[in-house]
């Protein structure tokens, strides 16, 4: 099923200075264990994060990326944005190596995604195809909802070394790219979700854990052509 994607409301611009961002990063890196993931309701998730323009030294940036990767793995998740750790900076990490049912993988076009970090990302659709599936968020634990997203996107971003990059992504990889980039602009998946599809994890597992969303669409009454 193909439907229009919902626009993302723009979050307010962050007012954090470079010194404040660096101090927050140093505090995070100084923790003995992994930092907690910020949950929905915290203002940092609704701010447009500051573009990265050298607020951190190369070593600090590398350490922050590694810490974010550790948190993502421990969660576990397939992406994590710096605001989810309370850092209002346009930085995210992505990686997907989860074992998924082959039928679901084929329907969702879910293929492994190697680890990489993105700075100052933006994306644009390639073509008009969309895909609608359940997704969740580490900053809204315990719930999932159906989100219609572009099936194919082109991502523009900076690598940690400062070089510019552009790459195309399809299927589930494109969904991850869109989800994490939205975080950096003050967006959550709920902004684009079909709210009638919202389910806590237990009810999702009991009723709607299919490769596609047809059963949920009929049972909960959303995305009717």
Rounded distance between C-alpha atoms, residue 186 and residue 127, angstroms: 25
DSSP 84: G
180: annotated active-site residue: yes
What number of helices (H) and strands (E) belong to the chain? 6, 8
Strand, coil or helix: what is 26? helix
Number of other residues whose CB lies within 10 A of the CB of residue 94 = 26
Per-residue CA distances from 122 to 41, 51, 79, 158 (Å): 24, 11, 16, 10
User: Which of 106, 124, 135, 180 is an active site residue?
Assistant: 180
Structure tokens at 146: 């159906």
Nearest CA to 157 out of 165, 169, 146, 149 is that of 165
Residue numbers annotated as active site: 180
């Amino acid at each position: 099923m193909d439907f229009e994607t919902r626009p993302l409301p723009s979050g307010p611009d962050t007012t954090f200075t470079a010194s404040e961002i660096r101090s927050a990063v140093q505090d995070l890196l100084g923790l003995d264990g992994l930092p907690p993931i910020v949950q929905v309701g915290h203002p940092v998730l609704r701010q447009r994060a500051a573009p990265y323009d050298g607020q951190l030294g190369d070593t600090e940036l590398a350490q922050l990326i590694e810490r974010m990767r550790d948190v993502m793995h421990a969660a576990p998740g397939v992406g994590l944005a710096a605001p989810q750790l309370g850092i209002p900076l346009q930085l995210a990490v992505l990686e997907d190596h989860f074992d998924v049912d082959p039928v679901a993988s084929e329907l969702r076009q879910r293929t492994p995604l190697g680890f990489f970090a993105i700075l100052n990302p933006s994306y644009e659709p390639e073509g008009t195809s969309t895909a609608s599936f359940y997704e969740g968020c580490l900053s809204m634990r315990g719930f999932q909802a159906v989100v219609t997203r572009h099936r194919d996107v082109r991502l523009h971003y900076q690598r940690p070394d400062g070089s510019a990059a552009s790459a195309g992504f399809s299927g589930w990889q494109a969904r991850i790219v869109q989800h994490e980039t939205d975080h950096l602009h003050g967006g959550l998946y709920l902004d684009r979700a079909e709210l009638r599809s919202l389910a806590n994890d237990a009810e999702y597992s009991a009723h709607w854990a299919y490769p596609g969303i047809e059963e949920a669409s009929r049972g909960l009454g959303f995305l009717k052509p």
